[in-house]
Chains A and B, each alone.
Chain A
Amino acid sequence: MMQIRPILAALRRHRIATFLIALEIALACAVLCNACFLIANRIQAMRIVSGVDENSLAYLSLDGYGRDHVSDLNARIVAGISAMPGVKAAGVLNTMPFSSNSNINGITIDPARQRYNHEINTYVGDLASLRALNLHLVAGRMPTQDDSRPIINGFVPRDSLVLITRSLADAVWPGEDPLGKDFWCIDFHFRVIGVVDHLTVPDPESRSVASRDFSAFVPAIPGNDLGGTYVIQADPRELPHVFRDVMLAIPKIAPEVVVDHDGSGLVSDLRERYFRNDRAMVDILLGVIAALMLVTALGIVGLASFWVQQRRKQIGIRRAIGATRGDILRYFQTENFLIVTMGIVFGVLLAYVLNLILMKAYEVTHLPVAYLAASAIALWLLGQLAVLGPALRAAAVPPVVATRSV
Chain B
Amino acid sequence: MFGYYLDLALRSLKHNKVLTGLMVLAIAVGIGASMTTLTVMHLLSGNPLPDKSDVLFYALLDPNPTGAPSHHQEPPDKLDYQSAIDLWSAHKADRQALVAESPVKLLAPDIKQPPSMGMLMSTTVDFFTMFDVPFQYGGPWTNDDDARRSRVVVISSDLNDKLYGGANSVGRTLRLRDADVRIVGVLKPWRPTPQFYDVAGGRFSQGQTADYYSKPEEAFTPFYTGLDVNDGHFQQFNCWDAPKVPGHLVGAGCEWIGLWVELDSTAKVASYRSFLANYAAQQKALGRIGYAGNTRLRDLMDWLEFNQVVPSDVRLQTWLALSFLVICLCNTVGLLLVKFLRRSGEIGIRRALGASRRQIFMQCLIEAGVIGVLGGAGGWLLTLLGLGLVRRQPVAYADLAHLDISMFGLTFLLAVLVSAVAGTLPALRASHIAPALQLKTL
Contacts and interface: CB of A to CB of B under 8 A. Distances in A.
Contacts of B395: 277
Interface residues of B, number: 58
Contact of A20 (B29, B210, B317, B330): B330
A206 interface: yes
A306 B339 CA distance: 8
Interface stretch (A23-31, A140-148, A240-248): A23-31
A23 B116 contact: no
What is the predominant secondary structure among interface residues of chain A facing chain B?
A: helix
Contacts of A24: 327, 330-331, 334
Nearest to B67: A114
Contacts of A67: 232-233, 246-247
B115 A258 contact: yes
B323 A27 contact: yes
A206 B317 contact: no
Nearest to A31: B323
B17 interface: no
Contacts, number: 139
Contact of A64 (B117, B206, B208): B117
Contacts of B342: 306, 309-310
Interface string B205-219: 111101000000000
Interface stretch (B82-90, B235-243, B265-273): B235-243
B324 A306 contact: no
B22 A20 contact: no
A206 B330 contact: no
B245 A363 contact: no
B206 A208 contact: yes
A171 interface: no
A24 B29 CA distance: 16
A64 B105 contact: yes
A235 interface: no
Nearest to A298: B22
A64 B115 contact: yes
Contact of B178 (A66, A205, A208): A66
A363 B71 CA distance: 21
B206 A207 contact: yes
A138 interface: no
B3 interface: no
B241 A186 contact: yes
A260 B320 contact: no
Interface in B390-442: 393-395, 425, 429
A302 B327 contact: no
B117 A63 contact: yes
Given A153-B242, A277-B395, A309-B342, A21 B324 contact: no
A303 B338 contact: yes
A362 B207 contact: yes
A116 interface: yes
B186 interface: no
Interface string A288-331: 10011001101100110110011000000000000000000000
B327 A27 contact: yes
A198 B11 CA distance: 68
B330 A277 contact: no
A30 B326 CA distance: 12
Nearest to A152: B242
B1 interface: no
Contacts of A154: 242-243, 245-247
Greatest chain A CB density within 10 A among B29, B103, B324 is at B324
A306 B341 contact: yes
Interface string B364-378: 000000000000000
A284 B37 CA distance: 11
Greatest chain A CB density within 10 A among B240, B312, B316 is at B316
B327 to A, nearest CB: 5
A21 B116 CA distance: 60
Contact of A17 (B105, B177, B328, B338): B338
Q: How large is the interface on A (under 10, 10 to 19, 20 to 34, 35 or more residues)?
A: 35 or more
A10 B115 CA distance: 78
Interface in B21-64: 22, 26, 29, 33
A116 B72 CA distance: 12
Nearest to B341: A306
Interface string B224-257: 0000000011000001111111110000000000
A299 B334 contact: yes
A188 interface: yes
Nearest to A304: B338
Contacts of A64: 105, 115, 117
A258 B105 contact: yes
A361 interface: yes
Contact of B71 (A116, A155, A280): A116
Contacts of A361: 312, 315-316
A295 B232 contact: no
B159 interface: no
B204 interface: yes
B313 A281 contact: yes
Contacts of A288: 33, 320-321, 324
A52 interface: no
Interface string A203-247: 001111000000000000000010000000000000000000000
A64 to B, nearest CB: 4
Given A153-B242, A291-B29, A302-B19, A35 B338 contact: no
Contacts of A27: 323, 326-327, 330
B13 interface: no
B240 A299 contact: no
B337 interface: yes
Greatest chain A CB density within 10 A among B242, B330, B429 is at B330
Contact of B320 (A23, A115, A187, A285): A285
A208 B103 CA distance: 28
Interface in A144-189: 152-155, 186-188
Interface string A104-129: 00000000001110000000000000
B103 A292 contact: no
B333 interface: yes
Contact of A153 (B243, B321, B323): B243
Nearest to B394: A276
Contact of A206 (B117, B204, B247): B204
Contacts of A115: 71
A24 B114 CA distance: 60
A31 B319 CA distance: 10
B208 A205 contact: yes
A152 B29 CA distance: 59
Contacts of B335: 298-299, 302-303
Q: Which 5 A-B pairs have the closest CB atoms?
A: A154-B246, A64-B105, A306-B338, A67-B232, A24-B330
11 contacts: A17-B337, A20-B330, A31-B327, A153-B243, A154-B243, A155-B242, A225-B246, A258-B114, A258-B117, A277-B394, A292-B327
